[in-house]
Amino acid sequence: MRDRVSQVPGYPDEKQFQGFIRRRRRRGAMWRTLFLIATSVGIVVLSALLLNILDDSFGYVAVKNEIEPAALLATYAPKRLPMERGGADYQILRELSRDVQVQILRDHLSQGLIRRLESEQPLDQRSQEELGDLIIERVVEPHFLASWSLFDSVFHRARIKAEVAEMDGASLRFYSWLNPKFVVSPQSSHPEFAGIRTAILGSLWVVAITILFSLPVGVAAAIYLEEYGQKGRLNDLIETNINNLAGVPSIIYGLLGLAIFVRALQPLTGGSLFGIGDATTNNGRTIISAGLTLGLLILPIIIINAREAIRAVPQGIRQASYGLGATRWQTVWHHVLPNAMPGILTGSILAISRAFGETAPLVVIGASAFIIRDPDGPFSKFTTMTIQIYQWTARPQAEFRHLAAAGIIVLLALLLGLNATAIWLRNRYQRSY
Amino acid sequence: MPDILTLPRPSAPSISANGERYAITAENLNVYYGAFQAVRDINLKIERQKITALIGPSGCGKSTVLRSFNRMNDLIPVARTEGRVMFHGKNIYDADVDPVEVRRRVGMVFQKPNPFPKSIYENVAWGARINGYRGDLDALVEQSLRQAALWDEVKDKLHQSGYSLSGGQQQRLCIARAIAVQPEIILMDEPASALDPIATLRIEELMRELRKEYTIIVVTHNMQQAARVSDYTAFFTVDEHRTGYLAEYGPTTELFTNPRQKITEDYITGRFG
Ligand SMILES: Nc1ncnc2c1ncn2[C@@H]1O[C@H](COP(=O)(O)OP(=O)(O)OP(=O)(O)O)[C@@H](O)[C@H]1O
Ligand SMILES: [Mg+2]
């Protein structure tokens, strides 16, 4: 072998050849290192991001209660001893008998407030849990005087303790900003009680509308372009346009959505045409406007991906189908679509994730800055998780920054769930040729 | 075997059956791909219930002619066909003829086995179902697989994927699939080129068996195969513009033992192509 290499004219001789191989090896190793560095940079950045979020999601808070739970317990339930550990005494308030809870509320709240609460739902019909929460929110009224990041809480405990000791009536608690209450509570201007439920529901509604609009339309357009459209200049022109549309900044889509869905189609998107929705206050700035706008935004991506997936279906399958006397429609419906489905789903996952994370166009079409009521249909006013997170980060108080971090974790978890569902769906339909 | 003949064939209003000698004929057929003329002036009369082999050097337009018999060329956007292909006294390129109907009656088997990514059963049943077959589907599937000499090998795994079969079995599955829609003519484009010699022999056996009920037109590069299996042979070649034309056509034994044209002789003896 070696002899042959040195013998063949035009090729390097034995010695040169060895050196040549070494040089090639070195070059390969250099590239390998570069790829490794690139990967490491990615991992480092991702870890930094996650650490930063976690850092803000947990940590000490200094709490000051208007009325200490211990004091309440001493008066109303002397037999129940308050716990030493922070937080557990709140739990005891939720476990008191309902008679006692109602008594506490009647004794501490103003007549007017009681009447309002009664009219929402009579007190003695509410659950223990609900009454306990009411007591904590209205009677105990905890305020966060200060809050610290996880890093500070772990490494500067002594300093934090000293600081809190000087605050009047404050106690130190280790607090998880991400907690079940956070997920199920509506928006509030008090960081102690604010939750992300309204925004989660808003996001889900908006994305549902987005999917309902863009998936069928996008896939149908892709089928038309791939299977029916005449190949030619017009098709090329359309293809170029769609590719360009996929690159248009999302804020432009926001402006488009504002002009079309919010303004021009206001009777439709505001719901007044159907007699639903609160058209006088929503001005067309509704879930359906937001969903359709994001639908337009991801439509080009879905079309491009779906076309790709349809093109990847082996030509032999189409020929076999036509060869049996199938019509174009039968070929598309029975063979092309089912075989392209995994690819279409994969592409759509990415597009839908993008819609889920969009903020700018929603700001433009007018997401509500502050709503407490859950969205109850496509014609409600809306906020989404990204909007909510954005608004929290924009507030001056540090507490809202922690809420934003917790919100990001919920958002990431939902995105992960969304992707996992899609991957599961894709694997279910996966076919091999 | 005769019961397959009694299976109802959907009536075809625009193309009526009669007792002609020829199954299908090409008359002055020209096919173009864009500006390029692939074949010119093809006149070819295919005998009923015989095997006709199309042979010739690569690129001479055998596949092109074959596809023009069931309008599969329609699926190639740049392809254009002139001339006539007569089937039951009707030109299949007439405006009032539906290519879907033509393809149901002139089936096709391709060079590369291309089963659907479905079960073996579905592969055979699908064509019948979309063509409105109302009889006993199980029976039809069994008959088709038996005719394709595949039944014994797959009868216990009808619901496994068509892709779980070997290449030769896949090709026989494709033949069974074509048979299941009860065509009159089966076009085969190098059906054995992707197979080993044993599988090839099985396909050839199968073709001889099928000849009893179907007219078969087969493209092949294998001279022995053409000589072994076919009744008639059409030899195509190309002119100086690389346009294909029919150089010689006749009974296989005659064409192979006593070719009238020098170029045919050169080709079949391996001195050309
Ligand atoms: N889809 C197409 N577009 C453009 N030209 C084509 C197309 N299909 C075939 N041709 C051309 O038409 C001519 C005939 O092709 P065809 O496939 O019919 O040849 P063939 O005899 O079947 O060759 P082979 O034996 O290699 O399969 C060739 O020159 C080929 O390049
Ligand atoms: Mg060919």
Task: For residue range A179-215, list pLDDT tens digits in order.
Answer: 888 998 888 888 888 899 999 999 999 999 999 999 9
pLDDT-derived band at A259, boundaries 50, 70, 90: very high
* Closest ligand 1 atom number to CA of residue B78: 3
Contacting residues of B for A330, CB less than 8 Å apart: 130
Answer whether A317 touches B (CB < 8 Å): yes
Average pLDDT, chain A: 87
Contacting residues of B for A325, CB less than 8 Å apart: 100-105, 127, 130-131, 181
Cβ of B110 within 8 Å of Cβ of A324? The answer is no
- The nearest alpha carbon in chain B to A227 belongs to B75
Answer whether A227 touches B (CB < 8 Å): no
pTM score of the predicted model: 0.83
Q: Ligand 1 pocket, B62 CB below 6 A? A: yes
**How many beta-carbon pairs below 8 A join chains A and B?**
67
pLDDT-derived band at B270, boundaries 50, 70, 90: confident
Residue nearest ligand 1's atom 26 by CA: B58
List the domain boundaries for chain B: 14-115+185-268
Probe residue for ligand 1, chosen from B29, B30, B36, B69 as the CB with the greatest number of ligand atoms within 8 Å: B36
Q: Average the pLDDT over A281-292 and give the result.
A: 86
The domain covering B14-115+185-268 belongs, at the CATH homologous superfamily level, to P-loop containing nucleotide triphosphate hydrolases (3.40.50.300)
CB atoms within 10 A of CB B99: 18
Cβ of B104 within 8 Å of Cβ of A334? The answer is no
Probe residue for ligand 1, chosen from B30, B31, B33 as the CB with the greatest number of ligand atoms within 8 Å: B33
Domain A197-432 class in CATH:
mainly alpha
**For the segment B227-254, what is each residue's pLDDT rounded down to a tens digit?**
999 999 999 999 999 999 999 999 999 9
Q: Ligand 1 pocket, B37 CB below 6 A? A: no
d(CA B79, CA B60): 16
What is the gyration radius of the CA atoms in chain B, in angstroms? 18
* Interface with chain B: mutation pick from A234, A319, A324, A334, highest number of B CBs within 10 Å: A324
* Closest ligand 1 atom number to CA of residue B190: 27
Quick one: pLDDT at residue A69?
81
Model-level ipTM above the cut of 0.90: no
Quick one: pLDDT at residue B5?
37
Angle CA(B170)–CA(B174)–CA(B180) in degrees, nearest 5?
A: 140
* Closest ligand 1 atom number to CA of residue B61: 18
Q: Decide if pLDDT at B11 tops 50.
A: no
d(CA A285, CA A188): 21
Place of tokens 């396909």: B203
CA distances from A210 to A23, A245, A296, A360 (A): 54, 17, 8, 16
Answer whether B19 touches A (CB < 8 Å): no
